[in-house]
Amino acid sequence: MVSFEEAIFNSLPPDNGLYYPENIPLLDPAFIKELRSKSQSEIGLEISRHFMANELSELDLRRIVEETLSFDFPLVRIIGEIHCLELFHGPTWAFKDLGARFLSRCMQHLISKKEKNINVLVATSGDTGGAVAAGFHGVDGVNVTILFPRNKVSDLQRKQLTTWGENVMTLEVEGSFDDCQRLVKTAFLDKDLNEELSLSSANSINIARLIPQMFYYFFAFQQLQNWDNVIVSVPSGNYGNLCAGLFAKKMGLPIARFIAASNDNKAVPDYLTTGHYKPLPSIETYANAMDVGAPSNFARLLEFFEGNVQRMRSLISGFSLSDPEILKTIDHLYQKTEYILDPHGAIGFRALQETLDDGELGIFLETAHPVKFVDTVKKAIPNMPSYQSKTEEIERKKSTCMRISSSYEDFRSYLTRQAV
């Protein structure tokens, strides 16, 4: 067992596994029952303190939670019994803003105990890097290096990754997201490099990313009148959000079941069907933030269900959607309701549309604003509204990044040069 502080700064344990809570507590049923009367900060504090109270004072933890929860998480009825939890109202218009802000503020609070700077490494398929950059920009004692795959993020995502400077550096990798993730994981296992640079991560492998992602599910129920037979569809790439949902259920939230909604990178849905886990090289899709062939958090899913695929199937069903069907879904819903889905939300919505049974109420997580994927959305909705006023400020900024190969030697050389 390790402390919360050690887990968030080390990110990966020495055995190349993932940190996992020793205990996922059951909240007081009275607290669950009274969710509608609680503020979002009260909910976030109650969840967080069960994992962190031994290492942060109530006052410090309250401050971290309140600074993190600086934007809204509205639940919107879309059509019939299908609702959308909008997670894109943060600074980079993606669900990862919450986890990145929470992690950065935890690290900032704890960094004063360290004798030297922490170097945070982040692999991103699109949204994580921008959220981490926004969350950590200007944080004293923390340097951030973000790796993203060349030509595999949208233009807006690239701007959100590469326009920060100061303590945020960006590397454009000649390869896939899996290559970026491999470079980061290999660096963590490099004992000499870790001792020299004090490495940490802000990817969903970091346990401090999962804690605030539990908040989403409680916020959704806070806004619901009917809690009977609630099904949550989770667009899934690295499966951190799904793990957080499972933790929320174990803490007492009455979620009936989950859908692991994926694109053509469907190692986990295939596992649920066959019982055999076979990670594959990632496939490029319109839902690029989910282009993950070997999801890291699958290890946490196995731990949660004690390696029992039957138990996993009893609570999670798999679903996948191809690129043509993503576009069709965006178009059809817009024609019916004028609501614009992003490609990831389209997968979550379609999973509910196809599998929701009578008497069930569905919630899908809309993980990013459609403006982040405007080129893709325009393929489905050529006359979609303009978001120019929303993006013009960032579009004026100058991008700065360095291109590297996918070899670990090049990456290691870059990191050691930066440390000089």
Residues with active-site annotation: 96
Q: What length is written for the chain?
A: 420
- Contact, 319 vs 260, CB < 8 A? yes
- Contact, 122 vs 203, CB < 8 A? yes
Sequence-separated (6 or more) residues with CB below 8 Å from residue 304 = 243, 246, 247, 250
DSSP 38-92: S-HHHHHHHHHHHHHTTTS-HHHHHHHHHHH--S---EEEEETTEEEEE---STT
Tokens of 110: 């704890």
Eight-class DSSP state of 307: T
- Contact, 330 vs 341, CB < 8 A? yes
Q: In 3D, which of 168, 175, 184, 286 has the Cα closest to residue 237?
A: 286
Q: How far is CA 125 from the centre of its chain?
A: 11
DSSP 89-104: -STTSBTHHHHHHHHH
53: number of Cβ within 10 Å: 13
DSSP 322-387: -HHHHHHHHHHHHHHH-----HHHHHHHHHHHHHPPTT-EEEEEE-B-GGGGHHHHHHH-TTPPP-
If phi > 0 it is left, if psi is from -120 to 50 it is alpha, else beta; for residue 260 that is beta
CA triplet 94, 95, 96: central angle to 5 degrees? 90
419: number of Cβ within 10 Å: 14
The amino acid at residue 269 is P
SS3 call for 312: helix
